[in-house]
Amino acid sequence: MKILITELIWKEGIEELINNGYHVDYDENLWRNREELLKKINNYDALIVRNQTKVDQELLAAGPQLKVIGRLGVGLDNIDIQSAKKMGIPVVYAKNANATSVAEYVLTALLSVSRPLHFADYDVRKGNWDRKTYTGLELAGKTLGLIGLGEISHRVAKRSLSFGMNVIGYDPFIADYDHIVSETGVQVKESLADLLTESDFISLHVPLTPSTKYLISETELQSMRATSYIINTSRGGIVNERDLAAALRRGTIAGAFLDVLEMEPIHPASELLTCSNAVITPHIAGLTQESQIRTSILVAKEVGKVMKNQPSLCVI
Ligand code: NAD
């Protein structure tokens, strides 16, 4: 059986597939060449992608032998799940495999606001010894608002609570008996507006869907505290970037950490690049050495299971 991989995968995942007898063709840049991909897919039994390959109806139809799609990550907005279902092609994703890495990214953002060590170090190396500007603040007692209370938020909440933060959340699909509420102790807000006005830090952990598109726009930014920060590791398009740039420039909010953008790589003319209170990273929140090995092996194993008609708990 033949497997095509169109984006970056760690070698451990490829080894797992080869050791199980699969023929693997791997080209981490194939997602950039749509025409070639459409021609090639015809010969493969499985396709493994990350978040750049557009797995739409056209691509699925061009691969009549496809038995499974593997997604090296969690967000599924680049895959037409409905069409795959209609065509009987299961989609396997890396359930929970990079959640800890994303949670640690969020904690890094919080701590880099509270203790700006790199700025202090930079200043010392310029010959200064300024003990006023870089003193920072404590996270203890501050309020963190989590939008979306799934796997990543659960891990962010546990870590932030251990710093003595108040953790509140908003997720219309969560009930009191869900783990994050009943065992972690996140206080659930009935409305997004309440969360926005009460939080010192807001972190987004929702999928990109029609209901979350531009969930954070001008009105929402206006209701945030002037001293507050927003952290987006979920998906570009959930925050309206033009409205955010305006809010950052006006001082409506204090700052932003953005790991995901509507257009990736970021457009060179993006107004966000001119905002010194925005920290922008190239979609790396979920990418650590550990999470990548975990993700690659997990997806390779689960794709293998589906190919052998065995049950997989990672099928969406
Ligand atoms: P999850 O499915 O466990 O949780 C998502 C939560 O969002 C669910 O509880 C759901 O009820 C909630 N939700 C859905 N619509 C909502 C709405 N309109 N308002 C409030 N809540 C809503 O997902 P997760 O594992 O926590 O991941 C969250 C997102 O993070 C993923 O969809 C993915 O896009 C993104 N992600 C990014 C990276 C990265 O490297 N930056 C890595 C992993 C995941």
Max CA distance (Å), the chain: 67
Look at residue 51 and tell me if it is in a domain.
yes
User: What spacing in Å lies between the alpha carbon of 163 and ligand 1's midpoint?
Assistant: 23
Question: pLDDT digit string (tens) for 218-248?
Answer: 999 999 999 999 999 999 999 999 999 999 9
Look at residue 315 and tell me if it is in a domain.
no
Amino acid at 200: D
209's CB contacts (< 8 A; 6+ apart) are: 77
Averaged pLDDT, 267-277: 98
Neighbours of 29 (CB within 10 A): 10
pLDDT at 164: 98
Q: Do both 151 and 264 map to the same domain?
A: yes
Separation CA 203–CA 144 (nearest Å) = 7
Amino acid at 191: S
Q: Do both 300 and 254 map to the same domain?
A: no
pLDDT at 8: 94
Look at residue 313 and tell me if it is in a domain.
no
CATH of the domain at 233: 3.40.50.720
Give me the half-sphere count of Cα atoms (radius 13 Å) on the Cβ side of residue 6. 26
Question: pLDDT digit string (tens) for 96-125?
Answer: 999 999 999 999 999 999 999 999 999 999
Give me the half-sphere count of Cα atoms (radius 13 Å) on the Cβ side of residue 106. 29
Q: How many domains does the chain have?
A: 2
The number of residues making up the chain comes to 316
Give the tokens for residue 292: 């990548």
Nearest to 302, CA basis, from 13, 10, 82: 13
pLDDT at 310: 96
pLDDT at 13: 97
Q: Is the CB of 152 under 6 A from ligand 1?
A: yes
Look at residue 40 and tell me if it is in a domain.
yes
Let me know if 285 is exposed, middle or buried by CB neighbors in 10 A (0-12, 13-18, 19+).
buried
Question: pLDDT digit string (tens) for 167-210?
Answer: 999 999 999 999 999 999 899 999 999 999 999 999 999 999 99
Determine the atom of ligand 1 nearest the C-alpha atom of 154.
26
Q: Do both 14 and 107 map to the same domain?
A: no
Look at residue 164 and tell me if it is in a domain.
yes
Look at residue 312 and tell me if it is in a domain.
no
Q: Do both 48 and 104 map to the same domain?
A: no
Q: Do both 75 and 181 map to the same domain?
A: no
pLDDT at 221: 98
User: What spacing in Å lies between the alpha carbon of 207 and ligand 1's midpoint?
Assistant: 4
What domain range includes position 39? Answer: 2-97+289-307
Look at residue 314 and tell me if it is in a domain.
no
Q: Do both 129 and 252 map to the same domain?
A: yes
Q: Do both 89 and 183 map to the same domain?
A: no
Q: Do both 91 and 151 map to the same domain?
A: no
Q: Do both 170 and 247 map to the same domain?
A: yes
Q: Do both 137 and 270 map to the same domain?
A: yes
Sheet holding 2-5, edge to edge: 23-26, 2-5, 46-49, 68-71, 91-93
Q: Is the CB of 285 under 6 A from ligand 1?
A: yes
Q: Is the CB of 286 under 6 A from ligand 1?
A: yes
Look at residue 316 and tell me if it is in a domain.
no
Residue with tokens 């930014």: 221
Sheet holding 255-258, edge to edge: 187-188, 166-170, 143-147, 201-204, 229-232, 255-258, 278-280
Q: Is the CB of 6 under 6 A from ligand 1?
A: no
Q: Do both 205 and 232 map to the same domain?
A: yes
Separation CA 48–CA 17 (nearest Å) = 11
User: What spacing in Å lies between the alpha carbon of 110 and ligand 1's midpoint?
Assistant: 19
